[in-house]
Amino acid sequence: MTNTTHRILLTVGACAFALWGAAAAAEVEGAAAQATPASAREDAKPLASYSGGLEEVVVTAQKRSENMQNVPIAVSAVSGSQLESIGVRALSDLNIAVPSLNVTNTYGRLTLSLRGIGSSNVGPGAENPIALYIDGVYYASTTASLLSLNNIEHVEVLKGPQGTLFGRNATGGLIQVVTKDPTSTGSGSLALTYASYDTQIGSAYLAGGITDNLAANIAVYAKRQGEGWGVDRATGSQVDNVDHDISVRSKWVLTAMEQTKLTLIGDYETVRDTMLTSAIRGGSISPFVPGVIQPDLGNDNNNDFESVHSIDARGASLRWDQKVGELKFASISAYRSANTVYGGDIDGLPTPHSSFVWSQYDRQFTQELQLGSDISDRFKWTTGLYYYQGTTGLDPSIITLPYAGIHFDYPTSKESIESEAAYLQGTYEIFDATNLTLGGRYTREVRNEYDEVIRIYAIGAPISTATYTYVPPDSRNYYNFSYRASLDHRFSDQAMVYVSYNTGFKAGGFNLGAPGTPAYNPEKLNAAEIGLKTDLFDRHARFNVAAFYYTYDDIQVQSYTNVSIITVNGAKARSYGVDADMTAMLAPGLQLITGVTVDNPTFTSFPGCTDAAPQGGVALFPGSCAGNRLPTATKVTFSAALDYAFAIAGGSLDLNGNAYYNGGYYTDVANVIRQPSYTKVGVSARWTAPGGGFSVRAYGTNLTDKRVLTYGDSQGVGTQLVNYGEPRTYGLTVAYDF
């Protein structure tokens, strides 16, 4: 029996299991429970009311606050306290809680893959197909999205396309981060951490009332990593270390009147590190040293040009919530800016062949207007208007090619983006406990490429001798209608089944890193899904499972042309599989969070893709990638976290262990550079003094010391470069909550 047959049977079996589970739960509940209207049951028994049971999880997946178990979408939600307990310190650690999500730091950028749908594209204008929202604001730039999580209320991961309510660039799903609201009662926390590689981390959170109706908070995070994960053998300098990573975020909430709430948020982040350092893949061949197999340098490299990476980002948002009778209105206005400098050695050798330094800027303004009905209505609806205006570009970018004797750079390269959208989604209880949801969103987007100049001059010669090529401006208009249809039925308080069909798209754009190359088209995804959500054993266990089937058109992937990275369209792809999440209260104070995803994400058609020799050393050549797996997509992931909190004579202890298994993935479309399967294990123990307040926590991450690829690709000339994530680390945190 083939692997494909196995997966088809697994998908069918999961669907059958979902239907069987729902029917069984319905039989147990009996006819009396079925006769209770869903509107009456929705909030009748909050999970916290069951002694020792799991608490209700409230999410905003449909732009209104609802019990997660009533939402016909596959959602994983984790509270801030759970994130702390299981060792999630930044967005890059989220796969511990959501195994179907693969998060990596690719050349200083947040890159995401969810259920096999993702992107490793870098450069100005490159956006993730897994959208990131923080407090209702969309973060377009991937350069300033690697956030610390020290003031988080909860995180929601919405799986599958969310094009109707959230629009562009949510083809694979969505991450919503909700930070803590300040309270009028004073509270706060202070924490200091010392960890491996001379790492020092300090964080603080303070909140309290300013006046009777005004409260504010501030969260501060600072990190320094004095010792790198490796060294540059050519220069002797540290690599993969952090000079500084500092972020500040403040939220002010004004309750002007009983029905009016204003929320003002400001944030700032500055980063300087060497995390962009890459090396030639061990066992491959450099085109600059033909026939010589390059050694595996571990976490070291052998570059003559030291990497540079810095971020300066800031933003502000104002949210106005207003209740007008039975209607709820919201306005969210936001502005964000980021300046990023990044560069390094391109050839990976101790002799000067090629290097680059790019200066990228990103600016965005967003405005959203929302209007929704009261959640208790039989017909619930949400409508809105959305506007996005952004600019991005390189100013300047410099590529030095000593092997060719020239500087090749772009003094200026710019793109403007303007997107407008209108959406409407409604849910109607068509029968007792049966809901039909229909929604649509129309988007118009305009992209303009302008002020693009290519400059070439000899190394050592004055810039006045340069030759200039002026690239004519270009413009593209994109139009899209995304829609959603779902049907859900609650058999009992314990079980709900849904089926849905969703579409989403990611806008096209221009390759500013290679002026004059063709624009790339929008990518589109269609998704069918069937899911089961259950609360079992008197709310002591929550088990959710979903089977899905995706078809993908014009998927945007990374490719090389000469020395520049560009985005191109892969013709078609397909992904199908099953994912499941479970949270269980095994005993008082003992909680298990676990999940598994089985997936099969492959290109079904991709003629003309850039192929690479298995060992490199040869310039890329056109080929077919049909049958290849999508970049960073894995077939099997699994995670489990066990947390046990209990009282002792001298206070309390909280013990945690977690494990994450990844079946391996390729980082390139040619499927040449592979990350083998791996398992990461983490542990922590926290002692809290009697009465709370003072605590000490010891932890270890990646105890198996697995070296995991965060980036890998073949350059146009045939050099295969790779970058790796964090090795095994230990740390000790002293904290005080008040």
The enclosing H or E element of 83 equals helix 80-85
Using alpha carbons, select from 438, 451, 440, 389 the residue that is nearest to residue 417.
389
Q: Stretch 490-513: mean pLDDT, rounded? A: 94
Sorted by sequence, the CB contacts under 8 Å of residue 622 that are 6+ apart come out as 608, 609, 610, 611
Q: Stretch 199-221: mean pLDDT, rounded? A: 95
CATH of 3-737, one of 2.60.120.330, 3.30.1280.10, 3.40.50.2000, 2.40.170.20: 2.40.170.20
Q: In terms of C-beta density within 10 A (0-12 exposed, 13-18 middle, 19 or more buried), how is residue 590 classed?
A: middle
Sorted by sequence, the CB contacts under 8 Å of residue 727 that are 6+ apart come out as 229, 299, 702, 705, 707
Sorted by sequence, the CB contacts under 8 Å of residue 197 that are 6+ apart come out as 225, 226, 227, 228, 229, 241, 729
Q: Stretch 275-282: mean pLDDT, rounded? A: 91
Sorted by sequence, the CB contacts under 8 Å of residue 7 that are 6+ apart come out as 576, 577, 598, 600
The confidence band for 128, taking pLDDT boundaries of 50, 70 and 90, is confident
Q: Stretch 619-640: mean pLDDT, rounded? A: 92
pTM to 2 decimal places: 0.89
Query: Whole-angstrom Cα distance, residue 474 to residue 199?
Result: 47
For 308-319, write each residue's pLDDT tens digit. Answer: 899 999 999 999
Query: Whole-angstrom Cα distance, residue 364 to residue 501?
Result: 31
Q: Are 278 and 711 in contact (CB under 8 A)?
A: yes
Query: Whole-angstrom Cα distance, residue 673 to residue 711?
Result: 9
Distances (CA, A) of 509 to 337, 362, 476: 20, 15, 8
Residue 37 amino acid letter: P
Q: Stretch 695-707: mean pLDDT, rounded? A: 95
Q: Higher pLDDT residue, 168 or 252?
A: 252
For 356-414, write each residue's pLDDT tens digit. Answer: 999 999 999 999 999 999 777 789 999 999 999 999 999 888 899 998 999 988 899 99
Q: Stretch 37-52: mean pLDDT, rounded? A: 36
Sorted by sequence, the CB contacts under 8 Å of residue 686 that are 6+ apart come out as 653, 654, 695, 696, 697, 698
Predicted pLDDT at 376: 74
Query: Whole-angstrom Cα distance, residue 374 to residue 185?
Result: 29
Q: Which string of DSSP letters, residue by residue, matches 495-511?
A: EEEEEEEEEEEE--B--
Predicted pLDDT at 46: 33
Query: Whole-angstrom Cα distance, residue 140 to residue 196?
Result: 33
| Lookup: tokens for 207 | 């909140």
Query: Whole-angstrom Cα distance, residue 81 to residue 654?
Result: 12
Query: Whole-angstrom Cα distance, residue 573 to residue 556?
Result: 11
Query: Whole-angstrom Cα distance, residue 413 to residue 516?
Result: 11
User: How many residues would you count in the chain?
Assistant: 738
Q: Are 269 and 286 in contact (CB under 8 A)?
A: no
Q: Stretch 571-581: mean pLDDT, rounded? A: 94
Query: Whole-angstrom Cα distance, residue 459 to residue 211?
Result: 63
Using alpha carbons, select from 360, 329, 325, 326 the residue that is nearest to residue 343.
360
pLDDT of 145 strictly over 70: no
Give the chain's count of helices (H) and strands (E): 3, 45
Predicted pLDDT at 41: 32
